[in-house]
Structure formats: C-alpha cells, structure tokens
Structure 1
Amino acid sequence: MSFIDDDLPKKKAAYEIGTDLSMLSLDELKERVEQLKAEIARIEAEVARKASGRAAAEGLFRS
C-alpha cells in the first residue's frame, strides 16, 4: 500500500445483524444505533413511496 492511499476516504464496514457487539466501544455502539435509525427512516420512506404509488395505480384500475 502506498502513501497515496492514505488520502482516500475510508469505507465504513457494513453492519451485519447478529454480529458480536462486545468489542465495540460505547461511542461505536451509539454511532451504530444512529446509522440503523437513519437506515430505518430511509426504508420507511421507500415503503411509503411505493405504497402511495400502488394506491394510485389501484385507484386508476378501480374507476
């Protein structure tokens, strides 16, 4: 690895459900909770968007 690679942004490891949490610090655990909350909000927004589209399509065919 060259010194040039040091300037590249580091990728965060993806969270995998069920992984051992005992080696994480309190701050790391709190950060993980915030990341998961953000992901839940993102998923819920997508569910709402798709439900809205589906309801509109069903309404079109019921007319």
Structure 2
Amino acid sequence: MTSEDDDKPLTRKDKLDFNSMSIEDLTSYISELEAEIEKTKSVIKMKQAAQNAASGFFKA
C-alpha cells in the first residue's frame, strides 16, 4: 500500500555541500536518488502502457 507522498518527487530546496558530507551521508544520498530514479522509471512504464493502450484503441 502506498501513500500519496510516495508519488511525489523528492525535492530539496537547499543546495547540498558534498564536501561537508560524510561518506555515509553521501552513500545514503545516492541510495535516495537511486530509489527516486526507480520510482520515476515505474511511472514512465505506466504512462507508456496507458499511451500504448490508447493508441491501440484509436487504431481499431
């Protein structure tokens, strides 16, 4: 079960200072970004499937 927040993209209003972040913090940040990328790819696949279904409907 997902919440509405799961559909919202990650946003950061502040700029990160990578030089002041620890290796652990940087690794965690990368994990967050990778999760966001996977979520985005999933949304793209859903939109492509809907678009393909619509195209098939109008071609018939």
TM-score, scaled to structure 2? 0.73
Alpha-carbon distance, 1:15 to partner: 4.0
Equivalent residue number for residue 35 of structure 1: 32
- Of the structure 1 ranges 43-52 and 19-28, higher mean CA displacement relative to structure 2 is found in 19-28
- Does 2:10 align with 1:20? no
What's the Cα RMSD here? 1.6
Q: What secondary structure, in the 3-state scheme, does the structure 2 residue paired with 1:19 have?
A: coil
CA distance in 1, matches of 2:12, 2:35: 13
- Relative to its length, the structure with more helix (as a share) is 2
Name the larger-Rg structure.
Answer: 1
Equivalent residue number for residue 3 of structure 1: none
**Structure 1: runs of 5+ lacking an equivalent:** 1-13
Runs of 4+ in 1 over 4 A off after TM superposition: none
Alpha-carbon distance, 1:45 to partner: 0.1
Sort the Cα spacing of 1:15 and 1:27 in 2 relative to 1 into closer, same or farther, 3 A: farther
Equivalent residue number for residue 58 of structure 1: 55
Report the identity percentage. 24
